[in-house]
Chains A and B, each alone.
Chain A
């Protein structure tokens, strides 16, 4: 929101390549290149008066009937269920039809921690969702690994699938999830469906199996501060009886 001047850079666009033919990741701030689109007539692929009116209608239809795919794994799934229940009703947004088949879903809500064993499932489900699709990473564990900076947890599902909105919290209150959903509605409102070329899937790099290169994955999954070296931080008193291996940095 407000980081670039042109239309919102969409992660589903084809990734530009550099001189070596490797795709250049464009997901991080500072690297965004706004697209330049010129006015044109209808069917030329450029936005014009009629196409923007059509865009508005299409976006209105899309955002008022988003069908979520609840990918609930842990505690956040309970809050997602609570937001679909009577007090924080999701039906007022047209979202009560939780589709458990990804083929009929628009919005993947990843609610809960994702382990490396579950990661291929998540990726497969994302791939099975037809475009247009959006994703919400609900909760701290899905956004960054949360409290679980351990050997078996994915440190943020954005290392595996592209994420549109992150909802912080552990678990986020249903109001928080609904705010995230409203941000998705805003994003849909500002998209330009009739002016885009194709909805391409993001590249899958063989070095990681996901759309991010190896060094980016390692950098965004670094631990925060001293969180994993606690055998030193509160080791002002150490009995020395049992030594825990101090943390290995990647």
Chain B
């Protein structure tokens, strides 16, 4: 029955924690114990000690851990030599308790139809990693989101600023485990900060500089009277809703 593995997993949960098979001195597990994946083998050949660990999860998903300093060359090699032209996902995981934050890259090769997941672990006092913006443009907003939610700085990203939270958000990085669900300020304070945003707070620094160079002031985004003559063409849709 194909559900055997799952039942074993739940039985193991019921039995409770068991001693680990990993060596006590913290040495990484032996290579070759897992089902082969062509990319992982090629990575090992090319980068040797650059492949810190290889894991298999969920039956068929291969994860490779790489050091953060070598991420750019490894990613470039994966894209150019191994054909991983599609960056499916770029995100981060915070396990809490002072543990390292993992930055996760999920790659897919459209030609070869293979997946691989690459992870980098960053210590909390050194949350910096090179950006892969110039390899895959899909990383543009995904890295901005990781920065916004976790505080990981991506070196070399041309425009790293908050994307989901307001630009002057001062409560921190929400998806960290030490960030409370309802935020660090009281609701009244959050309301006050939200309602006291000035026009400049709604614009990115690039736009403010652009406006300055054009010799204009930025349009107040919420004052329809100012933009009424320009926006009149969309203003009413013939009354039909």
Q: Which residues of A contact B (CB under 8 A)?
A: 70, 84, 96-104, 116-117, 119-121, 123-125, 128, 149-152, 154-155, 159-160, 207-210, 214-215, 217-218, 221, 223, 228, 242-248, 250
Would you give 17 A-B contacts (Cβ < 8 Å), ordered by A? A98-B241, A100-B235, A101-B224, A119-B195, A120-B194, A120-B195, A149-B181, A151-B190, A154-B194, A208-B195, A209-B191, A209-B194, A217-B191, A218-B187, A244-B177, A250-B182, A250-B187
The smallest C-beta distance from A223 to any residue of chain B, in angstroms, reads 7
The smallest C-beta distance from A107 to any residue of chain B, in angstroms, reads 13
Chain B interface main SS type: loop
Cβ-defined contact, A210 with B180, below 8 A? no
Question: Provided the pairs A97-B241, A228-B182, A250-B186 are in contact, do residues A125 and B222 lie with their beta carbons within 8 angstroms?
Answer: yes
Q: Which A residues are in CB contact (< 8 Å) with B195?
A: 119-120, 123, 160, 208-210
Considering only CB atoms, which chain B residue lies closest to A249 in the complex?
A: B182
Q: At the interface, yes or no: B225 with Cβ under 8 Å from chain A?
A: yes
Given contacts A150-B182, A250-B188, 13 further A-B contacts (CB under 8 A): A70-B241, A96-B240, A97-B239, A101-B235, A117-B165, A120-B197, A151-B180, A151-B184, A160-B191, A243-B96, A244-B96, A247-B182, A250-B187
Q: Which A residues are in CB contact (< 8 Å) with B179?
A: 151, 245
Considering only CB atoms, which chain A residue lies closest to B187 in the complex?
A: A221
The smallest C-beta distance from A162 to any residue of chain B, in angstroms, reads 15
Q: Which B residues are in CB contact (< 8 Å) with A154?
A: 191, 194
Q: How many residues of B contact A (CB 8 A)?
A: 40
Cβ-defined contact, A159 with B187, below 8 A? yes
Cβ-defined contact, B97 with A242, below 8 A? yes
Q: Which B residues are in CB contact (< 8 Å) with A99?
A: 236
Question: Provided the pairs A96-B240, A117-B194 are in contact, do residues A248 and B187 lie with their beta carbons within 8 angstroms?
Answer: no
Question: Provided the pairs A100-B236, A151-B182, A247-B181 are in contact, do residues A218 and B188 lie with their beta carbons within 8 angstroms?
Answer: yes
Cβ-defined contact, A243 with B225, below 8 A? no
Cβ-defined contact, B223 with A245, below 8 A? no
The smallest C-beta distance from B178 to any residue of chain A, in angstroms, reads 6
Considering only CB atoms, which chain A residue lies closest to B237 in the complex?
A: A100
Q: Which B residues are in CB contact (< 8 Å) with A228?
A: 181-182
Taking a contact as CB atoms closer than 8 A, the residue among B184, B191, B228 that contacts A116 in the complex is B191
Q: At the interface, yes or no: B83 with Cβ under 8 Å from chain A?
A: no
Considering only CB atoms, which chain A residue lies closest to B190 in the complex?
A: A116
